[in-house]
Amino acid sequence: MNSHVAARPPAVPAGPIERPIDWDALIEADRVHGSLYTDPAIYALELERIWRRTWVYVGHESEVPKPFDYVMKSVGPEPVLMIRGRDGKVGLLHNRCPHRGNHVCVSERGTARSFTCPYHGWTFNADGSMRGMPFPSGYEGVDREGLGLGRVARVEAYRGFVFASMAAEGPSLDEHLGAAKGIIDEVCRNSPTGEVELTCGFLKHKVKANWKFVVENETDGYHPGFVHSSIFQVSGSRITELYGDKSLSLARYLGNGHTEIDLRPEFRKRAEPLSWFGTTPARLPDYVARMNEAYGEDKAREIMIDGVPHVMIYPNLFIAEIQLFSIQPLAVDQTVQHVTALQFKGAPDINRRLRQQTMGSVGPAGFLLADDAVMYEGTQIGVGLSNPEWLYIGRGRHRERQDEQGYLVGCATDETTTRGIWRHYRSLMEAA
Amino acid sequence: MPVGTQDFALLQDVGQFIYREARLQDEHRYADWEALWADDGIYWVPANGDGGNPEMEMSILYDNRSRIGLRVRQLMTGRRYSQTPKSRLRRLISNIEILETAGDTVTAGCNAFIYESNIKGETLWAARNDYVLRREADGFRMVLKKVVLVNNAEPLYNLAFLV
């Protein structure tokens, strides 16, 4: 013991918070308590009540195009194998041998009709069922049915986007997505074939920050003009117009934790097709021709003015115009963003630019994301300090209103999205 | 094949170039570093292995000459927050080899071990670097610098300094 420090009770509980947690003492309408980002007991409860219970985005069907193709994915911190079965359906298996717990797959992607545990040679079919174990006489009379790989309880796709829930019961994917389905539709209609594909691999960007800081930042329209001013200044970008005080863009809470920054009012004001992508139809003639062919000129023009949404589908799928992110918590203060370029099936010329712009802006060296990362890391350090204990999220509360569809909206820079996220978080965490 | 005196001189020239490039990077001398690039230079840091087709797959960094310039200009604004304050860096370069010579270009390879210290803490980076250098009137220019991080398939912290 350090003898010259007077013994006194610590300012915050040293051990895990005892259940039940008093959420009133942690989440208020316009502020949240810093311990929500640092307390390992809260994080453990989030794994149980959010990541292992609700619907979580896992991957895209285009990542496993053929039967028996697989790719390593995760549900929260837990690794899973996303596999297309013999029947063409995409399923998820836990990468854990039911015998002694070792992994049955160590390669990130491939094609396999079976998986073999390297420890004792137990072998499993692509649907997870037991195929065989060496020296089978030792298992006489044992029911092999129960000795397959664990299957994730519920797996469903919407327009190729695969979601999973580790809980057998609960709201359907349809109910969970709610308004986000319409937003996914909007993403897909930017493809001349109506299909998005993820075909160019992922960047994996790690930060020393709680996952919720990342989620909140994705639809925080207040920060871009400041955090990203360096690149906007030197690239001649018009992005700051979208996130300024005079912007017509809206921060919208879509329910169920889903949020978006709706930039369409600004793009519609410009009325320039492909302005959302910082380019012009003349530079992407092939894409424009395919869009016109697919939708007719008027509709295609409308789509190309509106562009791809900027939406955060709770808790881990973020689509930001040209990129798709999957947010993975690893620990209370460790998060990975897996990010790739959206690719529109049947549109090679725009896809090439989508890849190039994605590589420029995101990942560990990205013009944008490296700077976001130091912001989350700074906030993570900040919430570990004792005064003040709370974070203020009240920006724009006085001017929040309902839009025509009944969703709560604020100005692009308002914290309408953050407040919505926290209300939903609380409802998930309070559900016993 | 035994290394002749001429090859040894080339190895020394190339080595000096690579050491200088390393020092300019460590000391954040952005403009001097940018001047080492050829007009058609490509700065490539693959992700997920030794590098597939960077035109089709995500790379951590895949800059053409104009984007190299943009990267440098962003750093020079002083508001590239992932380098504010700048990482303290020192890198060791070793195992330099000339791999190929053709006309005025030389392909060389080396290992790099980088120590980074910043607000977040300490990060160690290990890489295999491949260079394609072109001899111009006043010395070598980089036509290609490819940095294959040993751990590039794993999730990585920020890599916002010049690697």
Tell me the ipTM for this assembly: 0.95
CA distance B1 to B45: 32
DSSP A47: I
Task: Please tell me which of the candidates A203, A336, A371 has its beta carbon nearest to residue B58.
Answer: A203
Domains of chain A, earliest start first: 23-52+179-430 (3.90.380.10), 55-170 (2.102.10.10)
Q: At residue A301, does pLDDT exceed 70?
A: yes
Q: Does B73 touch chain A (CB under 8 A)?
A: yes
Q: Kind and range of the H or E element at A353?
A: helix A348-361
User: Residue A376 in contact with residue A214, Cβ under 8 Å?
Assistant: yes
- B157: chain A residues, CB-CB within 8 Å: 206-208, 364, 373
* A206 has pLDDT over 90: yes
pLDDT value at residue B144: 98
Query: What is the Cα–Cα distance from A420 to A394, expressed in whole angstroms?
Result: 11
For range A25-43, the mean pLDDT: 96
On whether any CB of chain A is under 8 Å from the CB of B55, the answer is yes
Q: What is the DSSP string of B125-138?
A: EEEEEEEEEEEETT
In the predicted model, is pLDDT for residue B5 greater than 80?
Answer: no
B83: tokens are 């380098």
Select from B57, B154, B155 the Cβ nearest to the Cβ of A200.
B57
Average pLDDT over residues A187-205: 98
Stretch A59-85: mean pLDDT, rounded?
A: 97
Collapsing DSSP states into helix, strand and coil, what is residue A22? coil
Radius of gyration for chain B, computed over Cα atoms and rounded to the nearest angstrom:
16
User: Does residue A8 register a pLDDT over 80?
Assistant: no
Cα(A58)–Cα(A72) distance, integer angstroms? 10
SS3 string of B32-83? HHHCCEEEEEEEEEECCCCCCCCCCCCEEEEECHHHHHHHHHHHHCCCCHHH
pLDDT above 70 covers what percent of chain A?
Answer: 96
φ, ψ at A393 (rounded to 5°):
-125, 35
Residue of B nearest to A380 (CA): B120
> Are A204 and B154 inside 8 Å of each other by CB?
yes
What number does CATH give the domain B8-149?
3.10.450.50
In this complex, is the C-beta atom of B99 within 8 Å of any C-beta atom belonging to chain A?
no
Whether the predicted pLDDT of A3 surpasses 50 = no
pLDDT given for residue A19 in this prediction: 64
Q: Which chain A residue lies closest to B59 (C-alpha atoms)?
A: A359
What's the confidence (pLDDT) of residue A10? 42
Tens-place pLDDT, residues A244-292: 889 999 999 999 999 999 999 999 999 999 999 999 999 999 999 999 9
Note the Cα B65 to chain centre separation in Å: 13
Q: Is A132 exposed, middle or buried (0-12, 13-18, 19+ CB in 10 A)?
A: middle
Nearest Cα of chain A lies from the Cα of B161 at a distance, in angstroms, of 8
Question: What tens digit of pLDDT does each residue of B55-103 get?
Answer: 999 999 999 999 999 999 999 999 999 999 999 999 999 999 999 999 9
Helices (H) and strands (E) in chain B, counts: 3, 6
| DSSP tag of A332 | T
Q: What is the pLDDT of residue A7?
A: 44
Instruction: Indicate whether A35 pLDDT > 50.
Output: yes
Query: Domain limits of chain B?
Result: 8-149
pLDDT over 90 (residue A76): yes
Q: What is the pLDDT of residue A241?
A: 86
**Please, which pLDDT band fits residue B120 given cuts at 50, 70 and 90?**
confident
Nearest of A144, A142, A141, A152 to residue A123 by alpha carbon: A144
**A176-208 exposure pattern, b = at least 16 Cβ within 10 A, e = fewer:** bbbbbbebbebbbbbbbeeebbbbbbbbbbbbb
Measured CA to CA, the distance from residue B77 to residue A229 in angstroms comes to: 9
- Mutation to test the A interface, candidates B158, B159, B161, B162, most A Cβ within 10 Å: B158
